[in-house]
Structure 1
């Protein structure tokens, strides 16, 4: 059953290349067997269409107190086939990233509760906005110069925005994710839909699902996992009937 999950978090300086290896299942993460698809785009010319080089340079030259990337984690509708999930993942990545450099990976691990697949994407987006001005790798991540853009780095998408504006941006991104998924579901003949709004705003009188965490789930008995998964499905069905 399609359900909406979308979260954003920031990656600090020095963590981007390592996290890119994690989502790409490279290096010490290569033993994981849940990787379905990877992709990237909008890399600057100096990166040579190589996201690893881009993140390595960002880790080195981004300002010490600045976010090197924003990670968007999005659950995909389980109704879709693997091929459809690949297509939707690519569409979501492009819609959210816009013109910013990005890298994404589609994972489909077996769910720890109930054993159902848990298809989701990890999308890493740079906060730097390309503007067509040629820059060296180091200058790309320098402070933006509003009076003379060619003398500074690329402007940051979050730069100069108030907390209210940033909150509104997140709300707009949540809506974009839901709209993109719903359009794709409709295009492919599915009746399921997702809703980015809170349960209260949807008029649904139940508590939000509590995130249990991997450690908690591992400590649950098999019977507890099955019971929790069944209750979760029943709650989802009740919310749409």
Structure 2
């Protein structure tokens, strides 16, 4: 049965490097490597690897600053691996619009609470600094934004990601796009971003 899950979290200075290791199954998390089904990244030209980018964020963001936002979503087991990758990338293109540096990974493992069911989910880890077309090096990118001379400051952080309205917006987008893919594959299952209590209320009203 298709299930719905989406949440947004964040990581402060010092968490970027360890978390990219976790979602990519590397270094002390190498035991997770067999869970990794897919990875992709949108990184600046000065970064030779995802780890270099997120370590730079840890080093150069202000003390206690937010290094990354993370959207974690469950992927429908009813879809093939290839379709889930397509689904994930379409979702990312819609919500991030090519305006952020990110690292993503799909993990798939046996569910801890249901036998013969896979826990297939994706981590979307992105910097909340919105790209504005100005080329910046590592030392400039994470600085405070300079409105008068953007090239002298870092990319501005998009604070809308802190709002409940943004969360509700992307939860609805994720509902719609999953249902589109399930319908296109002639799968009867559908998902809802509403709570079970609200779904029950709507069902009773109908």
Q: Which of 193, 196, 203 matches 2:193?
A: 196
Is contact 1:39–1:90 with CA below 8 Å preserved after alignment?
no
Alpha-carbon deviations, 1:102-138, whole Å to 9, x = none?
1111111100112211110011011011111121212
- Indicate yes or no: 2:83 matched with 1:84: yes
Worse-superposed segment, 123-132 or 24-33: 24-33
Greater Rg by CA = 1
Counterparts of residues 85-164 of structure 1 (less than 5 Å): 85-98=84-97, 99-115=99-115, 116-158=117-159
Distance 1:131 1:162 in 2: 17
Distance 2:27 2:128 in 1: 26
SS, match of residue 179 in structure 2? helix
TM-score after normalising by structure 1: 0.77
Alpha-carbon deviations, 1:149-193, whole Å to 9, x = none?
2221101011xx597xx1111111111111221122222222211
Is contact 1:93–1:104 with CA below 8 Å preserved after alignment?
no
Distance 1:36 1:105 in 2: 7
- Indicate yes or no: 2:53 matched with 1:65: no
Distance 2:13 2:161 in 1: 22
How far apart are residue 148 of structure 1 and its match? Answer: 2.5
SS, match of residue 92 in structure 1? helix
Distance 2:88 2:152 in 1: 36
Distance 1:184 1:51 in 2: 30
Distance 1:27 1:89 in 2: 26
- Indicate yes or no: 2:172 matched with 1:171: no
- Partner residue, 2:184: 187
SS, match of residue 118 in structure 2? coil
How far apart are residue 146 of structure 1 and its match? Answer: 2.1
Distance 2:59 2:74 in 1: 31
Is contact 1:71–1:125 with CA below 8 Å preserved after alignment?
yes
Q: 1:204 to 1:118 in 2, by over 3 A?
A: farther
How many pairs were matched up?
201
Q: Structure 2 unaligned segments of length 5 or more: list them.
A: none
TM-score after normalising by structure 2: 0.89
Q: Structure 1 unaligned segments of length 5 or more: list them.
A: 206-237
RMSD: 2.1
